Chain A
Amino acid sequence: MYVPHSDVDLKKIFKELSIKSLNELFSHIPKELILNDGLDLPDSISELEAIEYFEDISNKNKANLICFAGGGHYDVFLPHTVKTLTMRPEFMTSYTPYQAEISQGVLQALFEFQSLVCDLTEMELANASLYDGATSIAEAISVAINKTKRDNVVISEGLHPNNKKVIDTLIDKNKFKLDYIELENYIFPESYTFTDKDAAFVVSYPHFEGTAQDLTALVSSAKEKGVVTICYVDPTLLGILKTPGNMGFDIVVAEGQSIGTPLSFGGPTVGWFATKKEYARLVPGRIIGESRDSNNNKTYVMTLRAREQDIRREKASSNICTNQTLNAIGSAIHLSWLGPEGIYTMGYQAMQKANYMKNLLTKSNIQVLNKETSIREFLINVDKNVDEVIDHLGNNGYLAGIKYSDNQLLIAVTEKRTKKEIDKYVELLNEVVNV
């Protein structure tokens, strides 16, 4: 299938190669390695049959649960304009823009992505994407280690547990110490003392638990010791919250799913990476720059290529090659669709609706652990086992949130949730908690 050759074509090709069968192509391969009977796989099915097959399997997922789960991946409204533009075949079916003259579309879209990310986070230089938020944190830590040549990494415990696992996997624990610092009442201790052995300070904004903390003073005390400061940010809140750049961070990374990509069971999404120009030569992944061609026309090209694996090999700043370009283009289109008012509305409505929900829960005597400090995501205490809560809400059409501990649940509210959904959620929660 998808092999276009007719019998006439094959005859022509076989004649050119002086062969009579496809098998002759492999006469130089050791006989014991040749698959004589082919693969042990099912027969092909037609597209028509496959439609039914995949619809059936997709229906085995309960993707229509009303989503109160977050933790970096948010059920925000993704307009069709963004989806259809991102799926333009020229973006979809091209590859890395090695040939600038015929890749200006992808190059300019990525340049705009980089610039939009910089404007939104108040940074100077963004790359053209990494795999996801979790791997972006690990890449940022590597930059900090390379920059400072130090071996201690100060990491806030207030990160998604999976993000911590990715860091633990990708940063060599035999060489570097990963120093996880507990939050106190969902706040990174303001009195924390950094030392000149610390390579990096890694903190989430808001914290995984949903509390947003002004990190300006901590960043400033870390920088006094020469520590590279890394902020993992929820980009959908940057229309209403003070930016990481404003707080003085050196590197900003983000899980970019909520800007331009559907939930997708977690992938493909996109990792954002932005920093200051002084770090340019340590940055992982591709960077697009603006230049001019021989006729002085504006031209975009991949730049600072000497950092990359195809040129520097084992001395490269990262091994990344294929990245998440299409999702980065999705981010650029979504940010352009949002504009200053749209991204404000997205964050403001999420915050207002979360606030409404927190009040409603409190009235029902359900304890919200970080009511005052959280923005759109917060922790609640339930007297029941959280699994029971998730089951009860799941059976009634709701994804309750993310299990934080046996009796604590992390709830996220986006601009997409309605008053009716929130009311019903709290009602269902009351049913299970107050039995």
Chain B
Amino acid sequence: MYSGGNASSLPLVGGSSEPTIKDLSKPGRRAFNYPKLDVPEEKIEHNCIKVEKAPLPEVSEHDLVMHFSRLAHRNFAVDLGFYPLGSCTMKYNPRFADWVASLSGFSNLHPATPGKYSQGSLEILYKLEEYLKNITGMDNASFQPPAGASGELTGLLIIKEYLNNNNMSNKKNIIVPDSAHGTNPASAKMAGFDVVEVATDINGLVDVDELKKLVDENTAGLMLTNPNTGGLFEEDILEISKIIHDVDGLLYYDGANLNAIVGVSRPGDMGFDIVHSNLHKTFATPHGGGGPGSGPVAVKEFLREYLPGPIVIKDNDNYEWYQPKYSIGRMHGYHGNFLVALRALAYMMLLGKEGLDSLGSYAVLNARYLASKVSSTIPLAYEKPCMHEFVATVKELKKTNKIKAYDVGKALLDRGFHSPTIYFPLIVEEALMFEPTETQTVDTLDDLAETLSIIINELINSTESFENYPKNLPVGRPNELIPAKHLTVNWGDFELLEITE
């Protein structure tokens, strides 16, 4: 099948390992190039100045370019093939946004540039805030949080400060579903709250009866993604919201799964008081091999003065920085990941009303279609209709044929597809979580479903060890114990280990 969705060219260069840049270093080679010193040179005495040179590699520019290009060859990417990594929204990243971010008016601006000389950047943040407010149903936003986890911490610090200011500092408990992203409990802990876990029912939704039992006068708030990490819409969200608000707790929306509901429904209308958005997921900014992201936090009016500051306000035609009155402080050295925010705005403007109105619908459509196709090979974890992602499970195949989620993921790599997210959410055994996003063609979705069925058949009938998968890639399964045990985290460490053992 020629879907165009799998990275059939991988590995472009298999075989031998790529040396490190240090291995390539030869004394006297250089890539750098600077003008000659144009001021009178003086002997400068200072007790911090050293004599020896820094031990960096010495390579030519061509060596440098070849090395990092060859490293790039050894990496899967959205630009190469289908990346159905659940919870990460690996959609196509428009090239146009990269061009916008490269404009020197934006990229060469020093962060300490006064407001009067940075009106363009302030206008970008103001404009993006307008879009975000509208999409999420909130009233004000701060762009300081550089990633989703930082957004979560921001939201929790806002809750804490708000409760303190309103004489409710007794409230120490943050309720988090057992299906939540690990960042939720980790952030709650960092903010100084106690984490209370609420169970998921057999349908994959928050167990409302249990929630009622857990909620009391010490409940500070609830963190929730909707749809949740099982890809299911929390249908009782209005009741959940009432339960929390009835005890004066606040509702925090983890925007990891916002892509499912853009143009369909809004967290603000569901009763959420604070929302973070992952611009790198929902609004198509490149994930950069693990970052940068951007996790702006939007709040309802009554929490505006708690936002990390400064935030941008508009006064006639002038944009200004404003410091919120009870601000929790700062989440970033300056204004957050500005160029990521800028890319997100470019994406939103190209999509416009029409594109954003239907964004969630197409994301859900693709997931529903893929779920339907995949379910004939691997059963889904839940019966309820999925939103933008779904969870399948191979727990039966594990019992019958010792096939684990891990093995399925590795076998998919061989066929030019990225693995779905595996072993998450933690509450589903042998979970495989697929998120196709709205930018994949139906042919690619068919291709993945068909490939899965071929792989499962192959694994069922295989006489060899699953450890041999993947077979077609630059490297096979890594030994994960060596670096954890011996801390081979720096060049030279491994060679040293080989000599000593």
Contacts and interface: CB of A to CB of B under 8 A. Distances in A.
A28 B236 CA distance: 11
B351 interface: yes
A25 B494 contact: no
Contacts of B189: 314-316, 319
A61 B118 contact: yes
Interface in B122-157: 123-124, 131, 134-135, 146-150, 152-153, 157
Contact of B289 (A40, A59, A97): A97
B132 to A, nearest CB: 11
Interface in A159-175: 160, 162-163, 165-166, 168-170, 172, 174-175
Interface in A1-30: 1-5, 9, 12-13, 16-17, 22, 25-26, 28-30
A256 B351 CA distance: 34
Interface in A42-82: 42-47, 50-51, 53-55, 57-65, 67, 69, 71-73, 75, 77, 79, 81
Contact of A3 (B118, B195, B362): B362
A103 interface: yes
Interface stretch (A149-157, A196-204, A327-335, A377-385): A327-335
Nearest to A14: B365
A358 to B, nearest CB: 10
Nearest to B288: A326
B488 interface: yes
Contacts of B182: 308-313, 316, 321
A390 B308 CA distance: 26
A64 B129 CA distance: 26
Nearest to B61: A81
B290 A322 contact: yes
B54 A119 contact: yes
Interface in B227-263: 233, 235, 237-238, 263
B271 to A, nearest CB: 10
A4 B187 contact: no
Nearest to B103: A58
Given A262-B107, A294-B467, A352 B41 contact: yes
Which of B75, B114, B149, B474 is most buried by chain A, counting CB atoms within 10 A of its CB?
B75
Q: How large is the interface on A (under 10, 10 to 19, 20 to 34, 35 or more residues)?
A: 35 or more
A356 B40 contact: yes
A38 to B, nearest CB: 4
A108 B373 CA distance: 36
A349 interface: yes
Contact of A399 (B117, B190, B265): B117
A35 B110 contact: no
Contacts of B340: 267-268
Interface string B184-199: 0111111010010000
B84 to A, nearest CB: 12
A366 interface: no
Contacts of A344: 53-54
A373 to B, nearest CB: 8
Contacts of A57: 105, 120, 123-124
B377 interface: no
B365 A324 contact: no
Given A38-B357, A109-B68, A267-B338, A91 B75 contact: yes
Interface in A111-168: 111-112, 114-116, 118-120, 124-126, 128-129, 131-135, 160, 162-163, 165-166, 168
Interface stretch (A178-186, A234-242, A426-434): A234-242
Contact of A214 (B37, B48, B288, B441): B48
A213 interface: yes
B163 interface: no
A43 B42 CA distance: 61
Given A265-B335, A310-B181, A35 B353 contact: no
A321 to B, nearest CB: 5
A435 interface: no
B424 interface: yes
Contacts of B22: 112, 115
5 contacts: A41-B353, A111-B20, A115-B491, A327-B288, A356-B42
Given A17-B365, A28-B384, 15 more contacts: A57-B120, A99-B419, A101-B413, A101-B477, A102-B10, A106-B289, A241-B50, A267-B111, A291-B488, A309-B149, A322-B287, A336-B67, A342-B34, A394-B114, A415-B34
